[in-house]
Amino acid sequence: MLPLCYFAFLSLLSPVLSIECNETQYEWPVGKPQFCCEMCKPGQYMHRRNGKVCDKECKPCIGGRYSDTHNVEMYCGICDTCTKPNMEYKSRCNATHNAVCSCKAGYKCKDQNCKECLLVPTTSESSTTLPPSTTALKSTTLPTASTTPTPLRDTAWFLVIIVLLCIGFAFFVVTNIEPFLRWIRTKHGYFLAKPAAPVHSEVEEVSKPVQEVCGKCEQPLEV
């Protein structure tokens, strides 16, 4: 009696127990899963399946279609085409793999899926844009210009400013010296006055002949 009760209990509990299927299986039926059924293999799709048991029919992918995993899909995926400008096939599409696209030489993929190719300038192309002489001139002149000592330039400008200030001051002195001297004579004339000529008094002019006459009178007269 006990074994019969045990099996009856298991039959009632079995729909409640969870089912763990592996990655190549699917739980079936969908509402109340009781079975782990095998999926269709890569390169196939599920054409039909039974609603109660693991009874299915898988068919191969054809006509530019593929399936790269175990699946329960009702159709295959559509293969990509590598026909855009500057694009080429890295590998063609087949029943189990999609096509892989790549770009021609001198171009690169815009994204990881390589849906568009972009132009990439190479090192040789960028180096030929300038003539050799220009490249050499650029390599030799740029370091010299960048290493020009700044203090020398500052000193040169300082000397130019000093010279211009001196020229301006000299021009100011030349154009304003005469009015300045005239002002000095007006305010302080005694500093610039010419020495006056000696003035002889009338007494000195009159007495001189008298002295001379008297001198002559002192001499003895001859008889």
Residue 48 lies in a domain: yes
Residue 165 lies in a domain: no
Assessment of whether the complete model's pTM goes beyond 0.75 = no
Mean pLDDT on 106-131:
78
Q: Tell me how far apart the terminal alpha carbons of the chain are, to the nearest angstrom.
A: 218
Count: domains in the chain: 1
Nearest to 120 by CA among 110, 103, 102, 106: 106
19: left (phi over 0), alpha (psi -120 to 50) or beta: beta
Residue 69 lies in a domain: yes
Which tens digits make up the pLDDT trace of 14-48?
544 578 999 999 999 988 899 999 999 999 999 99
Residue 200 lies in a domain: no
Which tens digits make up the pLDDT trace of 50-104?
888 899 999 999 999 999 999 999 999 999 999 999 999 999 999 999 999 999 9
Q: What is the CA radius of gyration of the chain?
A: 62
Residue 101 lies in a domain: yes
Chain mean position to CA 217: 122
Residue 2 lies in a domain: no
CATH of the domain at 109: 2.10.50.10
* Domain enclosing residue 99, as ranges: 16-115
